[in-house]
């Protein structure tokens, strides 16, 4: 099995960091765009897609700035991170995503993120 490669994506999001952050760390916020269902208990998020559950631990959080999750069944070095980046001059807000994928799955993973973020932007009404 080949080691997964790190991928970094960035999307412009017309939202305040405070509003956006709620969609990145609150189960009901995440369930509106990221997964079909999200349950949070004992520091573990259970994400459900198409009836399949995936458990992730929240390993870092910075208020209105960043969340970092680690899937419990993933390779040790792998995680996914959602970071809110705000331009100091223009105040434009972007969402930077760090994720890991097997080399032959990178393009597919990027497409999935593209779709999820489009969905998030529509939920935000941005």
How many domains are contained in the chain?
1
Q: How far is CA 48 from CA 30, 31, 37, in A?
A: 11, 9, 5
Q: Record the pTM.
A: 0.92
Length of the chain: 126
What is the rounded CA–CA span in Å between residue 80 and residue 17?
Answer: 19
Question: Phi, psi at residue 107, to the nearest 5°?
Answer: -60, -40
Q: Which of 1, 3, 2, 5 is nearest to 107 (CA)?
A: 5
Q: 115 exposed, middle or buried (CB, 10 Å; 0-12, 13-18, 19+)?
A: exposed
What CATH number corresponds to the domain at position 103? 3.30.530.20
Q: What is the full per-residue pLDDT of the chain (126 aa) written as tens digits?
A: 568 999 999 999 999 999 999 999 999 999 999 999 999 998 899 999 999 999 999 999 999 999 999 999 999 999 999 999 999 999 999 999 999 999 999 999 999 999 999 999 999 986
Q: State which residues form the domain around 94.
A: 5-124
pLDDT score, position 126: 60
């Amino acid at each position: 099995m080949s080691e997964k490669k790190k991928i970094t994506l960035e999307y412009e999001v017309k939202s305040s960091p405070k509003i956006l952050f709620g969609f990145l760390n609150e189960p009901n916020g995440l369930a509106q765009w990221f997964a079909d269902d999200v349950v949070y208990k004992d520091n573990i998020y259970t994400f459900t897609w198409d009836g399949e559950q995936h458990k992730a631990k929240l390993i870092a959080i910075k208020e209105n700035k960043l969340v970092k999750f680690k899937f419990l069944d993933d390779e040790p070095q792998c995680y996914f991170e959602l970071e809110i980046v705000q331009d100091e001059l223009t105040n434009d807000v972007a969402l930077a995503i760090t994720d890991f994928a097997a080399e032959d799955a990178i393009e597919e993973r990027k497409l999935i993120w593209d779709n999820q973020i489009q969905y998030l932007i529509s939920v935000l009404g941005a």
